[in-house]
Structure 1
Amino acid sequence: MNPQVRQLQWGVLSIALSLLIGASARGDEWPQFRGPGGQGDVGAVDLPLHWSENEGIRWKTELPGRGWSSPVIANGRIWLTTAVEKASDAEEPLVTDEQVARVSSGTDMGAAAAIDLLALEVDLETGKLLRTVNLFSVDEPPPIHNLNSYASPTPVLVDGRLICHFGTFGAAAVDVNSGEVLWRRPMELDHIVGPGSSPVVVDDVTILTCDGADKQFIAALDIATGEIRWQVDRPPIRETNPDMRKAFATPLVFEQAGRKQAVIPGAQWFVSYDPATGDELWRVDHGNGFSNVPRPVFDGERVYLCTGFGKPQLWAIRTDGSGDVTETHVDWREKQQIPAKSSPIISDGRIYVISDGGVASCFSAADGKKLWRERIPGKYSASPILANGRLYFCSHEGGTTVVADSAEYEELAVNQLDGMHMASPAVAGDDLILRTDTHLYRISNKPN
């Protein structure tokens, strides 16, 4: 295809996607990890540029327990999940001063204490914690990595239901009006370091990534009943070390040329599935990457995926193939300063990433050419968002650096909160909803 024609097509698609996603975000709807489109782009929304603990905060609410799940929003309510240590002689979860101190320090909750896995409902207007819903009680939780939590997967909102996934502890659905638990579904697998994959909804099913150390499969549950509609094993993996067979990526669902796809990175393989049946559409052997965390992004022609831990790489793959397309549909690969945890973001023919150690890069989406690379202070797990020509990168240290969406690097602002950013940001109208390890914030251009 003529490069000028391809660029024109990309420009038209970008405008259409921006308008569609931006309209959804302005309606205060943030139903899943990385927002309405699942790719962190909220369109022409005028988010705050400057804030601190003393500026730009509409409200700040202390959260019980520990969890890295991102906020999801609908109908004036914010929902998130958390893990709370159970009090030994109480029926209801109890948050102690000791627990708050442990959460603030980032200390692993360990395997000794029993936990309750909760869904939290917060009023969007006031920040008031309205309700806690106990989804699972775990008497002997296994150890987890000290950078993970027992409540890291982001829930998804659909048709008045909140669907939560806690990996090996199971999935559950909550009626958001009554708080009733509609169903629970156990999922047996061993993550070794804790759960991470967020659920996605396609039509009337929710797709769960179940890439454990012991077994690897994808399952689709009926959103009304929790019953398994389909379940398929992942492709065979060469690696025999269980720790290098697991993965934690969230599926990306899109449609290209009338074919709907759910693309899910995993150890050794990138795989595209038919979300209605679980049938494999195509696969790519990316080598020996494992523990994949970043969610893919899609620009209408290529999907961009990260290979995971080991030596993280970014791959650009055309999505119109079938079968094993490793030798035919990979357009380019980048091996330098690619994240193992944070997801990419794409805009106007450019793709941005930030490495775990804080090196941000911008590439041409067409050919992978590096346009700029700059170090941004901090370490990074949260995925960035894009709004109205600005990229927002949130660090472990509580900082948020805002840079221009441009082929040349331009820092616009650096903001600091007291807590630790592990959860990715959410957006409500023109406001940012930020979760730290201890609090939930509504950051606003009009805080009062």
Structure 2
Amino acid sequence: MQSLGFSHWTTILVLAGSVFSAGCRPSYEVDVVSAKQSGVAIKDMASELSPQDWPSWRGSQHDGVVRDAASIPGDGFQWPESAKVIWTSDVPGRGHSSPIVVGDAVYLATALDEEQQQRVLCFDRETGEVRFDKLIHQGNFPTDREVHKKATNANSTIASDGKRLYVTFFNSQSIFATALDMNGEEVWQTKVGMFVSRFGYAPSPILYQSLVIVSADNSGGGYIAALDTETGEVAWRIKRGDTDSYSSPTVANVGGRDQLLISGDGAVTSYDPATGELLWRTACISKATCGTVIAADERIFASGGFPDEETVCLTADGERVWSNETKIYEPSLLSQGGFLVAVSDDGIGFCWDAATGELHWKKRIGGNFSASPVAIGDVALVPNLDGDLHVFRIGERFEQIAKYRIGVDSYTSAAIHRGDLLLRVGGENLAKRLERLVCVQLIGDNVGQPVLIE
């Protein structure tokens, strides 16, 4: 999830209040559109991405696992005591949109609250130089009451198919999806639907064949919609519940079929990504969740949330395999090498056997976390809210490998590209918080300055 940055007690109190005041909040009727009704043809698009690209939230498969061989260290690699900063670039405004990398460019979304501007930025991958700064929305921001003080007006991570960029923003009491070409020129913009906000909007768009899929669980009337990537036309839109929830969807091939998976509204739910047709729904987890569902080895994993606390493993058909009473709220889970790894909001790390749920270790890592971990081979990397990047081994025993100082805080998740880490961090200039995009060399010749972004 693009972090909302809640403290636990604030979350509990405010969400509890939302339950009691739900009857006083506005609602609307979701405009349901079937795939048959829309007539939008869905095409199996040839990918224009390379294996090195990190094109969306948590990478190409939305699970945080690095699959580019050039980014995975070989046998005998020793993580350095310090790592090399390649470049840093100032990011105007504020956002929890994580960076994506496509080709020789890095993209992220940001919001300038005083100017009420929501923008998309492009940086040169090698130098950090700004290539373009595109204004998407001017004015009509939600009120301070509609966005949590630790959240932002640019939470969603951009998605790209190599031909266009797709970005979602909450503006004018609605969710808008906008497509840009790779040079920042607008191709189309679509109002996906109305949105009643409690803490702001968090989910990131994902791509499936010729569709961009947008979720918007909210108390006014939740929905998921699929838009044609070339035109922005609605291919289908389905209705969900009336719960304020914040998880991004994912598409995974499990059980011999593509499944659109999302947690929240008291369940993990599976849909046909081509049509929005319900495949199955398993009551579990909680009403409000933040993390993205992941799939590995024909199993589906999810955790959350409020008010209930559960981590669950399901079959490809939604049947329970195992579960426990652990809550991982903001960060998403990570599965690698037969292990399921998690870092809780309050800094507790967990590692379970993915097949059985047996707990291998539970360890206080340090600090509080909003970002989701990524895996490079058998190593996990995750930044905390103090600006420390923690690096530890994925395995039966906890092994702390390294700890790097990367900023004064870090809410977003990392992108990994050709052995380098791209991360949005908080810094300070004359005691004023600002944001920077930092490129850190993790794999290769690590002789250089320490990771310390002030």
SS in 2 for 1:170: strand
| Aligned mates of 1:376, 1:25 — CA distance in 2 | 35
TM, length-normalised to structure 1 = 0.80
Which of 204, 208, 212 does residue 198 from structure 1 map onto? 204
| Aligned mates of 1:365, 1:257 — CA distance in 2 | 17
| Aligned mates of 1:260, 1:418 — CA distance in 2 | 39
Contact 2:304 2:328 in 1 (8 A): no
| Aligned mates of 1:360, 1:432 — CA distance in 2 | 21
Paired position in structure 1 for 2:416: 427
Alignment of 1:44-193 (within 5 A): 44=69, 45-46=71-72, 49-50=79-80, 55-85=83-113, 113-143=114-144, 144-167=147-170, 168-177=174-183, 179-186=184-191, 187-193=193-199
Paired position in structure 1 for 2:323: 333
Paired position in structure 2 for 1:296: 293
| Aligned mates of 1:35, 1:140 — CA distance in 2 | 29
Contact 1:68 1:422 in 2 (8 A): yes
Q: CA deviation at 1:293?
A: 1.0
Q: One-letter code of the match for 1:393? A: V
TM, length-normalised to structure 2 = 0.79
| Aligned mates of 1:233, 1:402 — CA distance in 2 | 40
Q: CA deviation at 1:257?
A: 4.0
Paired position in structure 1 for 2:246: 248
| Aligned mates of 2:245, 2:117 — CA distance in 1 | 24
Q: CA deviation at 1:140?
A: 4.2
Paired position in structure 1 for 2:54: 30
| Aligned mates of 1:426, 1:282 — CA distance in 2 | 32
Q: One-letter code of the match for 1:161? A: R
- Distance change in 2, residues 1:312/1:49 (3 Å): farther
Paired position in structure 2 for 1:392: 381
Q: CA deviation at 1:25?
A: 10
Q: CA deviation at 1:139?
A: 3.2
Paired position in structure 2 for 1:17: none
Q: One-letter code of the match for 2:64? A: G
| Aligned mates of 2:415, 2:313 — CA distance in 1 | 26
Q: CA deviation at 1:169?
A: 4.2
| Aligned mates of 2:299, 2:136 — CA distance in 1 | 38
Contact 1:304 1:314 in 2 (8 A): yes
| Aligned mates of 2:103, 2:87 — CA distance in 1 | 18
| Aligned mates of 2:329, 2:197 — CA distance in 1 | 17
Contact 2:254 2:295 in 1 (8 A): no
Contact 1:115 1:141 in 2 (8 A): no
Which of 219, 226, 236 does residue 220 from structure 1 map onto? 226
Paired position in structure 1 for 2:429: none
| Aligned mates of 1:396, 1:319 — CA distance in 2 | 35
| Aligned mates of 1:291, 1:115 — CA distance in 2 | 28
Q: Which moved more, 1:257-266 or 1:121-130?
A: 257-266
Q: Which moved more, 1:62-71 or 1:161-170?
A: 161-170
Q: CA deviation at 1:311?
A: 3.5
Query: What residue ranges of structure 2 are gaps of 5+ in the alignment?
Result: 1-47, 427-434, 449-454
Q: CA deviation at 1:142?
A: 2.1
Q: CA deviation at 1:256?
A: 2.6
Q: One-letter code of the match for 2:312? A: W
Q: What RMSD in Å do the two structures reach over aligned CA positions?
A: 2.0
Q: CA deviation at 1:306?
A: 1.4
Q: One-letter code of the match for 2:154? A: A
Which of 315, 318, 330 does residue 318 from structure 1 map onto? 315
Paired position in structure 2 for 1:273: 271
| Aligned mates of 1:208, 1:299 — CA distance in 2 | 23
Percent of aligned pairs with the same amino acid: 28
Contact 1:50 1:414 in 2 (8 A): no
Contact 1:427 1:433 in 2 (8 A): yes
- Distance change in 2, residues 1:65/1:171 (3 Å): same
Q: One-letter code of the match for 1:332? A: W
Pairing 1:42–2:70 present: no
Pairing 1:404–2:393 present: yes
| Aligned mates of 2:50, 2:368 — CA distance in 1 | 30
Paired position in structure 1 for 2:4: none
Q: One-letter code of the match for 2:379? A: R
- Distance change in 2, residues 1:440/1:118 (3 Å): same
Q: Which moved more, 1:432-441 or 1:304-313?
A: 304-313
Q: CA deviation at 1:27?
A: 4.5
| Aligned mates of 1:56, 1:49 — CA distance in 2 | 12
Q: CA deviation at 1:388?
A: 2.3
Paired position in structure 1 for 2:215: 209
Paired position in structure 1 for 2:282: 284
Residue deviations 1:329-369 (CA, integer Å, cap 9, x gap): 11111213x31000000012110011100000000111111
Instruction: Report runs of 4+ in structure 1 exceeding 3 Å deviation.
Output: 24-28, 46-52, 445-448
Q: One-letter code of the match for 2:167? A: C
Contact 2:124 2:130 in 1 (8 A): yes
- Distance change in 2, residues 1:140/1:206 (3 Å): closer
Q: CA deviation at 1:446?
A: 4.0
Contact 1:116 1:138 in 2 (8 A): yes
